[in-house]
Chains A and B, each alone.
Chain A
Amino acid sequence: MPDKYETHDCDVLVIGAGGAGLRAAIESSAMGAKTALVCKSLLGKAHTVMAEGGIAAALANVDEEDDWRVHFHDTMAGGKMLNNWRMAELHAKEAPERVLELERWGAVFDRTRDGRILQRAFGGHRHKRLSHVGDRTGLEMIRTLQDKGVHQGIDVYMECTITRLLMDGGRVVGAFGYWRESGRFVVFRSKATVLATGGFGKAYPVTSNSWEYTGDGHGLAYRAGAELIDMEFVQFHPTGMVWPPGVKGLLVTEAVRGEGGILRNSKGERFMFKYLPEANRKDFAADEAEATRWVESVLADSKPDGRRPPELSTRDNVARAIYTEVKEGRGSPHGGAFLDISYQPADRVKKKLPSMYHQFLELADVDITKVPMEVGPTCHYAMGGVRVDADTCVTTVPGLFAAGEVAGGMHGSNRLGGNSLSDLIVFGCRAGRGAAESAKTASRPTGSLDRQIDEAAAEVNAPFGRTTGEHPYALHSELQEIMGSCVGIFRTESDLKEGIRRLEALGPKVRNVRVEGSRMYNPGWHLALDLGNLMVISEAIARSALARPESRGAHSRLDHPNYDPHFATVNNCVKQNDTGGMTVRETPLPKMSDELRKVYDEVEAMSLPAKA
């Protein structure tokens, strides 16, 4: 006799309550759809709260020259032209409206002198573009959306994990999951389902991501037959903490560099100058003097004088630079680089970077107003994800939508800082609308879902019944070790093949994972179930990385250090085949419209003037 379970009916089911999920649920319920929002944690704890630096949107409050065209250009250039251009276009055009809407809903951004939303500089953005609240912008976004959402009649189901999507004739019609608290099962029946589950940093040993980031949405979509694209592109944020061991990987916001933070190696050299790619060297300061003038203008809250400091190069580039400096023996005592903001007035640092100040003081005994921080690369963001239609966010599986980090395409091969929070609200909104529209015409499933539900229940119960098998924590460490050493920041064909071989060997052990105790709030069991998703995405990353013998954006192949023009025209696409195995194939990149191509070229031709 299978376990009893409760059932909830809704029009739109949103899985994940970070920025994208909340925004999707708000939109869907505003359109009249009965909306259920499910999250693994308590409401308001999602990974979005850890986003620090800001929301990129061409409001042009600080740099008047900014507009959506330049933002579009910067996003495509940052992604090395592999982005879904239509997503990049919609994102650049709609981000300002979405930010202003947050303000209308109660968000309190930092202000310019004339009382408008203040914007700060960030890597890869030509203009000061990031609206922010000190260095806790993500929290502000979550709290604003949360308060808007709970007063709009969304049904929120907290601490509930979804383990399987329920299908009816090729269409997603609901989901099966369990309550973390009691371990009891729950079924949601929906007409449309939105994945907003974020990323998968927990596949790596050093990451800025929280425990929730186990690639759940990627895994759910894959097993429902959806396509994953660009999985080889995993962003390593250049600046994570490197000491003490317990916080290794914890994010040090890019805002430190946006506010003028300087990177140096153990010899005191400002090494970023030598790592600027030829192609956009012209956008950066030529020497320390020019970089200093730029910082002084930031400090004076005035128009930029000179070009940006080299520390504001894109994340992929800065991460590789730090990695290389450390590898060549010029690292800091704990194996990182020095990031220095202590030359600025202490009060300003505390005002602009309050959480960084506290984070270092309390966790590492380092006062960043007095001495430099030590930082190194940390796994931060998944560019790859579920393939979606740009306008509606529908995936390749009917009834299934995706938005935010779990969706692929928007950021191409490398995401710019600040483009994530804006992605969440732009496409969260669109996914909510797309799902609510589609729910209007969808009918309830014809057949019974009982067999799928029984299967899903048996699957999640299985780890308790085993007498042999390893513990989930040991298996998780092994998986992280494989990904860190074989599929990390620099890759080679032999490492990747070794990684795939070791993942294949790990597979049967994960399928035989053993759990102790009861189903009541049992973290060991929760992890055991999350491992399945981590296995899917790890294999997808490794196989996609092997299938791209070139270096582009966040994907760096030591054995193929250059661009290959062929790979500028394709996305790697991962899909489950009929025998249950994983297939990777190349799919053509959508062709950019002539009009947008012109926009890109025009912006590209306008190089920033170097003021003498």
Chain B
Amino acid sequence: MAETREFQVFRGDRSGGKMETYPVEVTPGMVVLDAMHRIQATAAPDMAVRWNCKAAKCGSCSAEVNGKPKLMCKTRLDALPADRPVEVRPLRTFPLIRDLVTDVSWNYEVNKKIPPFTPKPGAVWRWKQEDVDRVQEFRKCIECFLCQTVCHVLRDHQKQPVFNGPRFFVRLASLEMHPMDGLDRLEQIKEKSGLGYCNITKCCTEVCPEDIRITDNAIIPLKERVVDRFYDPIRVLFRKIFGSASLTKPE
């Protein structure tokens, strides 16, 4: 006998909606996205779900599963408590389109405002693997925007107009630490990115499906570089607050 589990999925749009219950027959190794597909194929063919790769590589299928931001294609059912229904909701931080699909276009607007990679004049394109290990860590980002969803500055304080969010601190760090990038980015990072709003709660790092150490490796070093450049005397104080361990240079 196949096991059946109950799912509660948000159905609705900007005008309102509610949680609908669907029983789903489960098979071994099944993930939440499999269950959503099964619901589409059997009970609700028009249920809106965004996905592409079903391999945790594209970052399309982000949703809130039992209240936690997750990639649905990477969330195994056997890792969720069996004694209650699985709750699936759209990301709360972004405007709803329909069912599990939200409007994430704001993120694309932020990205457009970040000056692109600009090679140093006369760059010699040779570098050591060790010099790019960290940049490669940042470039693993699949733009799932789970970190954006969970960050309280966006989620609870709606600072979208002035705060780029952890995803784009990762992007800024990947440019700032790229051995061949020739642009001076610190002024922009200090004035335009809203980095100062981040109070290093590390919630973003916890949800990153690519295990990017967003706070330790991107945000703190960026803050440190800004401090170094613009407020050197304060650096001492900064160290006291956040501890020197977290301030070690990326190299």
A interface list, Cβ under 8 A from B: 41-47, 49-50, 100, 103-106, 108, 110-111, 114-116, 133-134, 136, 139-140, 143, 147-148, 150-151, 158, 181, 210-212, 243-247, 250-251, 355, 358-359, 362-365, 471-474, 515-518, 520-525
CB–CB A106/B108 < 8 A: no
CA distance A41 to B178 in the complex (A): 29
CB–CB A43/B52 < 8 A: no
CB–CB A105/B52 < 8 A: no
CB–CB A523/B45 < 8 A: yes
Q: A115-B128, A251-B55, A358-B56 are in contact. List 10 more A-B contacts (CB 8 A).
A: A45-B60, A49-B58, A49-B142, A50-B53, A103-B125, A111-B132, A115-B126, A134-B136, A139-B139, A363-B74
A-B contact count (CB 8 A): 158
CA distance A218 to B103 in the complex (A): 30
**B129 nearest in chain A by CB position:** A111
B111 — which chain A residues lie within 8 A by C-beta?
A: 147, 150
B29 within 8 A of A: yes
Q: List 13 A-B contacts (CB under 8 A).
A: A41-B60, A42-B108, A45-B52, A50-B57, A106-B117, A139-B57, A151-B116, A158-B105, A210-B53, A212-B52, A244-B29, A359-B55, A363-B31
B76 — which chain A residues lie within 8 A by C-beta?
A: 362-363
A134 — which chain B residues lie within 8 A by C-beta?
A: 136
A103 — which chain B residues lie within 8 A by C-beta?
A: 125
A243 — which chain B residues lie within 8 A by C-beta?
A: 29
**A365 nearest in chain B by CB position:** B29
**B100 nearest in chain A by CB position:** A521
B27 within 8 A of A: yes
B28 within 8 A of A: yes
CA distance A356 to B138 in the complex (A): 18
CB–CB A106/B46 < 8 A: no
CB–CB B108/A43 < 8 A: yes
B119 within 8 A of A: yes
B48 — which chain A residues lie within 8 A by C-beta?
A: 520-523
CB–CB B136/A523 < 8 A: no
CB–CB A108/B139 < 8 A: yes
Minimum CB–CB distance for A107 against chain B, Å: 8
CB–CB A111/B127 < 8 A: yes
CB–CB B178/A42 < 8 A: no
B58 — which chain A residues lie within 8 A by C-beta?
A: 41, 44-45, 49-50, 210
Interface size, B (range): 35 or more
**A105 nearest in chain B by CB position:** B117
CB–CB A49/B46 < 8 A: no
CB–CB B47/A523 < 8 A: yes
**A144 nearest in chain B by CB position:** B117
CB–CB B27/A245 < 8 A: yes
**A476 nearest in chain B by CB position:** B41
Q: Which of B28, B115, B116, B143 contacts A44 (CB 8 A)?
A: B143
CA distance A181 to B105 in the complex (A): 12
CB–CB A471/B117 < 8 A: no
CB–CB A521/B101 < 8 A: yes
CA distance A115 to B28 in the complex (A): 45
**A117 nearest in chain B by CB position:** B125
CA distance A243 to B56 in the complex (A): 16
CA distance A148 to B27 in the complex (A): 43
CB–CB B45/A108 < 8 A: no
A151 — which chain B residues lie within 8 A by C-beta?
A: 112, 115-116
B226 — which chain A residues lie within 8 A by C-beta?
A: none
B6 within 8 A of A: no
Counting chain A CB atoms within 10 Å of each CB, which of B59, B119, B129 scores highest?
B129
Minimum CB–CB distance for B198 against chain A, Å: 23
Q: Which of A104, A108, A517 contacts B136 (CB 8 A)?
A: A108
B224 within 8 A of A: no
CB–CB A42/B47 < 8 A: no
Minimum CB–CB distance for A508 against chain B, Å: 20
Counting chain A CB atoms within 10 Å of each CB, which of B46, B98, B104, B125 scores highest?
B46
A474 — which chain B residues lie within 8 A by C-beta?
A: 41
CA distance A43 to B175 in the complex (A): 20
CB–CB B41/A250 < 8 A: no
**B46 nearest in chain A by CB position:** A517
Minimum CB–CB distance for B148 against chain A, Å: 14
Tell me the residues in window 98-147 of chain B with beta carbons closer than 8 Å to chain A beta carbons: 98-99, 101, 103-105, 108, 111-112, 115-117, 119, 125-129, 132, 135-136, 139-143
CB–CB A473/B40 < 8 A: yes
B34 — which chain A residues lie within 8 A by C-beta?
A: 246
A105 — which chain B residues lie within 8 A by C-beta?
A: 117
Counting chain B CB atoms within 10 Å of each CB, which of A44, A45, A47, A362 scores highest?
A45
A251 — which chain B residues lie within 8 A by C-beta?
A: 55
CA distance A362 to B31 in the complex (A): 10
The 6 closest A-B pairs by CB, nearest first: A244-B29, A517-B46, A106-B117, A524-B45, A115-B126, A521-B48
CB–CB B116/A106 < 8 A: yes
B30 within 8 A of A: yes
A246 — which chain B residues lie within 8 A by C-beta?
A: 27, 29-31, 33-34
**B141 nearest in chain A by CB position:** A143
**B103 nearest in chain A by CB position:** A181
CB–CB A244/B27 < 8 A: yes
CA distance A111 to B128 in the complex (A): 6
B206 within 8 A of A: no
CA distance A106 to B174 in the complex (A): 10
CA distance A364 to B30 in the complex (A): 10
B49 within 8 A of A: yes
B223 within 8 A of A: no
Minimum CB–CB distance for A513 against chain B, Å: 11
Given the interface contacts A150-B112, A363-B31, does A523 sit within 8 Å of B139 by beta carbon?
no
A515 — which chain B residues lie within 8 A by C-beta?
A: 45-46
B13 within 8 A of A: yes
B10 within 8 A of A: no
B54 within 8 A of A: yes
A247 — which chain B residues lie within 8 A by C-beta?
A: 29, 31, 54-55
B98 — which chain A residues lie within 8 A by C-beta?
A: 181, 520-521
Q: Which of B47, B53, B99 contacts A49 (CB 8 A)?
A: B53
B238 within 8 A of A: no
B97 within 8 A of A: yes
**B27 nearest in chain A by CB position:** A245
A115 — which chain B residues lie within 8 A by C-beta?
A: 126-128
CB–CB A250/B28 < 8 A: no
Given the interface contacts A133-B139, A143-B139, A246-B30, does A517 sit within 8 Å of B45 by beta carbon?
yes
CB–CB A210/B45 < 8 A: no
CA distance A87 to B91 in the complex (A): 45
Given the interface contacts A47-B52, A111-B132, does A523 sit within 8 Å of B27 by beta carbon?
no
CA distance A525 to B45 in the complex (A): 8
**B33 nearest in chain A by CB position:** A246
**A110 nearest in chain B by CB position:** B129
B13 — which chain A residues lie within 8 A by C-beta?
A: 520
CA distance A140 to B142 in the complex (A): 10
A210 — which chain B residues lie within 8 A by C-beta?
A: 52-54, 58
CA distance A250 to B53 in the complex (A): 9
CB–CB B52/A525 < 8 A: no
Given the interface contacts A49-B58, A212-B52, A523-B46, does A116 sit within 8 Å of B126 by beta carbon?
yes
Counting chain A CB atoms within 10 Å of each CB, which of B49, B52, B108, B175 scores highest?
B52
Minimum CB–CB distance for A318 against chain B, Å: 21
CB–CB A250/B29 < 8 A: no
CA distance A220 to B45 in the complex (A): 25
CB–CB A49/B40 < 8 A: no
CA distance A520 to B103 in the complex (A): 13
